[in-house]
Structure 1
Amino acid sequence: MNELQEFLTGRIWLRDFTPFPQEMIEKSIREGFIQVQKGITENLQCARCLEISPEKIVSFWCAKCEGQCHYCRHCIRMGRVSTCTDLITWKESHTISPYSHSFHWNGELTKLQQQASEELGDSLHQNRSHLIYAVCGAGKTELLFSPLHQALSEGKRVCIAAPRTDVILELSPRLQAVFPELMIHTLYGGSTFEPGFARLVMATTHQLYRFQHAFDLVIVDEADAFPYSYDPSLARAVSKSLKPGAPIIYVSATPSPKLLESVPHQSKIFRRFHGHPLPVPIYRALWNYRRSFRTNKMPKKLADWIIQKLEKGEPFMVFFPTIEMIRQAEPLFKEIDIRIEAVHSKDPDRKEKVMKLRAGEIPGILTSTILERGVTIENVQVGIVGADEDIFEASALIQMAGRAGRSGKFPEGQVIFFHNGVSWQMDKARNLINSYNEEGFR
Structure 2
Amino acid sequence: MKEIQDFLVGRIWLRDFTPFPEEAIEKAINQGFIAVQKGITEKLECARCLENSSEKIIPYNCAKCERICYYCRHCIRMGRVSSCTDLITWKEPLELSPYSHSFSWNGELTNLQQQASDELDESLRRNRSHLVYAVCGAGKTELLFPPLHKALSEGKRICIAAPRTDVVLELSPRLKAAFPDTVMHTLYGGAIFEEGFAQLVVATTHQLYRFQQAFDLVIVDEADAYPYSYDLALARAVTKSLKENAPIVYVSATPSKEMLKTAVNQSKIFRRFHGHPLPVPEYRSLWNYRKSFNTNKIPEKLKDWVKLRLEKNEPFMLFFPTIEMIRQAEPLFKLIDSRIEAVHSKDEDRKEKVMKLRRGEIPGVLTSSILERGVTIANVQVGIVGADEAVFEAAALIQMAGRAGRSSAFPNGEVIFFHNGISRQMDDARNLIKFYNQEGQR
TM-score range, shorter chain: over 0.9
Amino acid at match of 2:382: V
Question: Which residue is 2:259 aligned to?
Answer: 259
> By how many angstroms is 1:63 displaced?
2.7
> By how many angstroms is 1:197 displaced?
0.2
Question: Which residue is 1:158 aligned to?
Answer: 158
Question: Which residue is 2:145 aligned to?
Answer: 145
> By how many angstroms is 1:110 displaced?
0.5
Question: Which residue is 2:245 aligned to?
Answer: 245
> By how many angstroms is 1:151 displaced?
0.4
Deviations along 1:191-241, one digit per CA (max 9) or x if unpaired, are: 111111000000000000000000000000000000000000000000000
Structure 2: how far apart are the matches of 1:425 and 1:17? 46
Question: Which residue is 1:384 aligned to?
Answer: 384
Structure 2: how far apart are the matches of 1:132 and 1:418? 31
Q: How does 1:72-91 map to 2 (within 5 A)?
A: 72-91=72-91
Question: Which residue is 1:39 aligned to?
Answer: 39
> By how many angstroms is 1:99 displaced?
2.4
Give the SS at the match of 2:230.
coil
Question: Which residue is 1:208 aligned to?
Answer: 208
Select between 418-427 and 212-221 the one with higher mean Cα deviation: 418-427
Q: How does 1:177-196 map to 2 (within 5 A)?
A: 177-196=177-196
Structure 2: how far apart are the matches of 1:200 and 1:216? 11
Give the SS at the match of 1:317.
strand
Amino acid at match of 2:85: T
Question: Which residue is 2:109 aligned to?
Answer: 109
Structure 2: how far apart are the matches of 1:360 and 1:23? 50
Question: Which residue is 2:286 aligned to?
Answer: 286
Amino acid at match of 2:369: T
Does the 8 Å contact 2:116/2:267 carry over to 1? Answer: yes
Give the SS at the match of 1:321.
coil
Amino acid at match of 1:202: V
> By how many angstroms is 1:31 displaced?
1.0
Amino acid at match of 1:63: A
Structure 1: how far apart are the matches of 2:66 and 2:330? 53
Amino acid at match of 1:150: K
Question: Which residue is 2:319 aligned to?
Answer: 319
Structure 1: how far apart are the matches of 2:101 and 2:215? 20
Structure 1: how far apart are the matches of 2:224 and 2:101? 33
Does the 8 Å contact 2:333/2:340 carry over to 1? Answer: yes
Structure 1: how far apart are the matches of 2:208 and 2:404? 32
Deviations along 1:276-309, one digit per CA (max 9) or x if unpaired, are: 1110111111111111111101100000111111
Deviations along 1:47-94, one digit per CA (max 9) or x if unpaired, are: 000001110000111133322110000000111101111111000011
Structure 2: how far apart are the matches of 1:97 and 1:341? 48
> By how many angstroms is 1:97 displaced?
1.7
Question: Which residue is 1:428 aligned to?
Answer: 428
Deviations along 1:356-390, one digit per CA (max 9) or x if unpaired, are: 11111111111111111011111100000011111
Does the 8 Å contact 2:162/2:223 carry over to 1? Answer: yes
Structure 2: how far apart are the matches of 1:357 and 1:61? 49
Amino acid at match of 1:372: E
Amino acid at match of 1:239: T
Give the SS at the match of 1:212.
coil
Does the 8 Å contact 2:101/2:152 carry over to 1? Answer: no
Question: Which residue is 2:360 aligned to?
Answer: 360
Structure 1 residue ranges, 4+ long, deviating more than 4 angstroms after superposition = none
Structure 2: how far apart are the matches of 1:220 and 1:305? 36
Does the 8 Å contact 2:156/2:199 carry over to 1? Answer: yes
Structure 1: how far apart are the matches of 2:17 and 2:310? 51
Structure 1: how far apart are the matches of 2:23 and 2:379? 56
Question: Which residue is 2:60 aligned to?
Answer: 60
Amino acid at match of 2:12: I
Question: Which residue is 1:395 aligned to?
Answer: 395
Structure 2: how far apart are the matches of 1:363 and 1:347? 18
Question: Which residue is 2:230 aligned to?
Answer: 230
Structure 1: how far apart are the matches of 2:314 and 2:367? 17
Give the SS at the match of 1:229.
helix
Amino acid at match of 1:337: D
Does the 8 Å contact 2:101/2:149 carry over to 1? Answer: no
Q: TM-score, normalised by structure 1?
A: 0.99
Amino acid at match of 1:362: I
Question: Which residue is 2:19 aligned to?
Answer: 19
Give the SS at the match of 2:348.
coil
Q: TM-score, normalised by structure 2?
A: 0.99
Structure 2: how far apart are the matches of 1:359 and 1:166? 16
Structure 2: how far apart are the matches of 1:365 and 1:82? 42
Structure 1: how far apart are the matches of 2:405 and 2:234? 32
Give the SS at the match of 1:89.
strand
Give the SS at the match of 2:208.
helix
Question: Which residue is 1:100 aligned to?
Answer: 100
Deviations along 1:128-184, one digit per CA (max 9) or x if unpaired, are: 000000000000000000000010010000000000001001110110001111111
Structure 2: how far apart are the matches of 1:308 and 1:68? 63
Structure 2: how far apart are the matches of 1:360 and 1:87? 46
Does the 8 Å contact 2:163/2:205 carry over to 1? Answer: yes
Q: How much is the aligned-residue C-alpha RMSD, in angstroms? A: 0.8
Give the SS at the match of 2:196.
coil
Select between 349-358 and 106-115 the one with higher mean Cα deviation: 349-358
Question: What count of residue pairs does the alignment treat as equivalent?
Answer: 442
Gaps of 5+ in 2: none
Amino acid at match of 1:330: E
